[in-house]
Amino acid sequence: MFSLSITPRFSETDALGHINNTVVPVWFESAREPIFKIFNPNLDLSKWNLIVAKIDVSFIAQMDYQAETEIRTYVEKLGNSSLTLKQQVVQNDKVAAEGFCTLVKFNYDVQKSEPIDDTERKKLLEHQFQA
């Protein structure tokens, strides 16, 4: 599991007094940084090699501005050139939102997917979800 600690920003609240639902995909993307580094250790923008194919988010409980927040990121599934992550927003020891994200290893130069190699695969498998 990868864990990212987040302090909610005031600008991330909305008029209903909680964290706006569009913020969760932003938090989840920021929590994927260690995944980005497995594929691109220096986060070199000219060598970016991941593309997002699909995301979903289930909103389980209202998220508070005042609560320290943890984003948990697990590897859920590992395919030939794609992987699916499970990500959670945890506040006060409860999962407030949960989602999946499918990423594809992608060669932007030739605009085609590429197989995940063994080194990447090994690192990813260390972060698998265990129920």
| Among 1, 43, 80, 92, interactor with a second copy by CB under 8 A | 43
Residues whose CB falls within 8 Å of the CB of residue 83, separated by 6 or more in sequence, listed in order: 35, 75, 77, 102, 103, 116, 124
Q: Does 130 sit near a second copy (CB under 8 A)?
A: no
Q: 96 is written with which tokens?
A: 């407030």
Q: Which is nearer to a second copy, 33 or 117 (CB)?
A: 33
10 touches a second copy by CB under 8 A: yes
Single residue of 29, 70, 114, 120 touching a second copy by CB under 8 A: 29
Per rule CB under 8 A, count of chain residues that contact a second copy: 36
Residue 36 vs residues 10, 115, 123: alpha-carbon distances, Å = 27, 15, 12
User: Can residue 49 be called a binding residue for a second copy (CB under 8 A)?
Assistant: no
